[in-house]
Amino acid sequence: MVSRCGTTAAPQVGTNYNIETVRAQAALLALSLLVPVYARQPVRAKHAMVVAQEPLAADVGLAVLKSGGNAIDAAVAVGFALEATYPFAGNIGGGGFLIARFADGRATFIDFREAAPKAASRNMYLDAAGNVTRDSIEGWRASGVPGTVRGLELAHKKYGRKPWADLLAPAVELAGKGFPVSWSLSESLRSSPVLAKFDESKRIFLRNGRPYEPGEVFVQPELAATLNRIRARGSTGFYEGETARLLVSAMERNHGIITLEDLRNYRAVERQPLQGKYKGYTIVTSPPPSSGGIGILQMLGMLEGSGYEKGGAGSAATIHYLAETMRRYYADRSEYLGDPDFYKVPTAGLLDPAYILSRRASIDPDHVTPSDQLGAGRPSGRESTETTHYSIVDAEGNAVAVTYTLNAGYGSGVTVPGLGFLMNDEMDDFASKPGSPNMFGLVQGESNAIQPGKRPLSSMTPTIVLRDGKPFLVLGAPGGSTIITAVLQVMLNIFDFGMNVQDAVDAPRVHHQWKPDRLQLERGISPDTIALLRQRGHAVNDSRPVVLARIEAILIDGGWLQGGQDGRGAGKAAGY
């Protein structure tokens, strides 16, 4: 077995020799000497691989693969293990998406996104003056009905191989017997702005003011009992029985709105993935209620044939064109995307080649288009921070990408008494007030307004890329609204700039989401490049370091698996 939890080497010099690119690469080299992130080698393995944002969970998935389980089995085991080891985002109190491409050519997408409770209403987060309150972000009213347990069970029943109880056993053990707290978990718990606000969260995760030090053992007996009920009874052990009763009782005591009926009625949904092409690659990606798949395909369509890549990776010309492409997609996102079970998303129109070319034609390669002057386009067919991701490839050639979330780090901050798990604050992903920004600054429209039973629009974008009809790249990320652009840039780094998967993941990223009209840059972009971007009219956010998502990726090339674990986090790539 080979694995890695964070190493570094010197960055490689590319083949684009214009002076701006050379300056950018020199800045990267200088930075890497101070912050050892860039140009690490990928982890390589011959048979199977798991890349996850927490090392113990990655090891759980690898053990499942080595014992004869397939990629779906490993995905289930990793998902539950992360609940125990990565409370920041690992969850049974949230929801997410799973995309799979099987060795026989089938592909599927399982939507286990949280749903608005039956008692939810359009204006539930507005005060008497019509202003948005914080109730969608923190506390008992912030949560949608969790979907993770039903989603992972659906995946296992249809496509798994190993016994369900075997896949839950590692999570039960990690919670019940405990595990040593890592430096990153210790720092994360200690720095959380929300855990100390709620008594049960403060008791479990902060020991009532004595935060866990690295190396101390973290034991979660209430969570172990909850996971044991799921292990014994499947999703019934979560959505009915003792777990459901304790959850709803706590909701009632604290003015929450999730009911026993909401839990019983929740269903995961299997959908068809979206597919598109880019320079000979086939992109298999997430459909609505993810906004990411349409975004990836639309932006790739604007980029293909544009010549944007001629400036070289990291050049001002390349970044400018990427930003203008992003700006146009996010304007469309605000207007047209929502839950397809409640709103007819004009997918065909948004991905129509003629429409995409019309959007590209509006890009000025030398100047910005101010967002106030750029609205959504008019596609045909229209009718009236935190998340986690893991990627898996098994020895048979099955590929799975899972992104799931509590929304903000540690979700709503609420831990259910007697159950040991945190609840999501996913209701903030709706448009609490259409036209006003949410916690990620995203401006969203009527298509994503709150309705009972509706699933909020998501940026989660688990994606699988095929080359010559076989899996080539498996990737996804946490990062709120920056997920989509991060996934896009890692793909472009590989497709257009010839990077290996680790370099592609670690390279500095940029992000523009239409509104606010600001171009965000990670550190590593050269000062000369920033100056040139400002000359083109970009309002550049370089006042403080930003992290634009954390990608976990696997690339399959020549029979070898390459694992790219993002140095922005503390995860692990493990394979054999």
Which are the catalytic amino acids? 387
Sequence-ordered list of residues with C-beta below 8 angstroms from that of 106, at least 6 positions apart, any chain? none
Radius of gyration of the chain (CA): 22
Angle at 100 between CA 502 and CA 80, to 5 degrees: 80
Contact (Cβ atoms closer than 8 angstroms) between residue 390 and residue 61: yes
User: 325 is written with which tokens?
Assistant: 């492409």
Strands 463-467, 281-285: pairing kind: antiparallel
Nearest Cα to Cα of residue 426 among 464, 356, 480, 377: 480
Contact (Cβ atoms closer than 8 angstroms) between residue 301 and residue 356: yes
Q: Quick one: how far is CA 40 from the chain centroid? A: 23
Nearest Cα to Cα of residue 27 among 493, 522, 488, 520: 522
**230-239: b (≥16 Cβ within 10 Å) or e:** bbeebbbbbb
Q: Where are the beta strands (DSSP E) in 11-65?
A: 43-45, 49-52
- Concatenated DSSP letters for 419-488? T--BPP-GGGGSBSSTTSB-TT--B--GGGB--TTPPPPB----EEEEETTEEEEEEE---GGGHHHHHH
The Cα-based distances of 106 to 224, 273, 435, 462 in angstroms read 35, 10, 39, 16
Residue 435, judged by CB atoms within 10 A of its CB (0-12, 13-18, 19+), counts as exposed
Angle at 411 between CA 247 and CA 344, to 5 degrees: 90
User: 569 is written with which tokens?
Assistant: 């986090």
**Distance (Å, rounded) from C-alpha 208 to C-alpha 204?**
8
